[in-house]
A and B are shown apart, each in its own frame.
Chain A
Amino acid sequence: SFELTQAPAVSVSPRQAVSITCSGDKLGDKFVSWYQQKPGQSPVLVIHQNNKRPSGIPERFSGANSGNTAALTISETEVTDEADYYCQAWDSATDVVFGGGTKLTVL
């Protein structure tokens, strides 16, 4: 079955850039979305269709997808970006799949 793999945790210093990756077989052939979830809150869509930002999402969030890896990049990371981040893709056999999530710590 189709699976998406994410590193459990990543840390970054404020104002630095950070990339959170998501890997899966031929992932570059699929559309990837990214969700941010802060403790006790519902998820928020931050990137869809690999690199599109929904209205209201800051420009410092960007996405890319190629080969077997997709990446969410946050430039000039802020303390408020500390959250769990989930990638998501659709596969014809498995339907919609989420990655296991990456906990981003800003310190």
Chain B
Amino acid sequence: EVQLEQSGAELKKPGESLKISCKASGYTFPNYWLAWVRQKPGKGLEWLGTIYPADSDARYSPSFEGQVTISADKSINTAYLEWSRLKASDTAMFYCARTLFFGSGSHKDILSYWGLGTLVTVSS
């Protein structure tokens, strides 16, 4: 059974750094794109970017490039989303999600398995 276990909720102050995680199980972690999606309170879904763990090829939405860092450690089947300096406007739920199809050449946007989300609250 495919499972994506996300790290727990975070309460941080503006300017602080943060790294949240998504631990995968039940499938061959290196060979499926894994994406991060943001959802601000009461708002819609936003694509941050995705990573192919086999070679750590990370792709970012132009809106988020330089704002976050996506990484993966295939030795422990875990992907990460990181901020160096949080802002209050980063307050949101963040989901990791795995693509439907196997392989680097597949549709990296079709997300068939989702984690439960990590709530990040940034407040002074």
Q: Could you tell me how many residues of chain B have their Cβ less than 8 Å away from some Cβ of chain A?
A: 25
Q: Which residue of B lies closest to A86 (CB)?
A: B45
> Is A33 touching B45 in the complex (CB atoms < 8 A)?
no
Partner of B95, one of A33, A42, A94: A42
A-side interface mostly: strand
> Is B112 touching A54 in the complex (CB atoms < 8 A)?
yes
Alpha-carbon separation in the docked complex, A91 to B40 (Å): 23
- Hey, what's the 0/1 contact readout for A71-87 against B, CB within 8 Å counting as 1? 00000000000001010
Alpha-carbon separation in the docked complex, A56 to B97 (Å): 18
Interface size band for A: 20 to 34
Residues of A within 8 A of B111 (CB): 33, 35, 43, 45
Determine how close the nearest CB of chain A comes to the CB of B109; give it in whole angstroms.
4
> Is B100 touching A35 in the complex (CB atoms < 8 A)?
no
Residues of B within 8 A of A98 (CB): 44-47
* Residues of A in contact with B (beta carbons under 8 Å apart): 1, 31, 33, 35, 37, 42-45, 48-49, 54, 84, 86, 88-90, 93-101
* Residues of B in contact with A (beta carbons under 8 Å apart): 35, 37, 44-47, 49-50, 59-62, 95, 97, 100, 107-112, 114-117
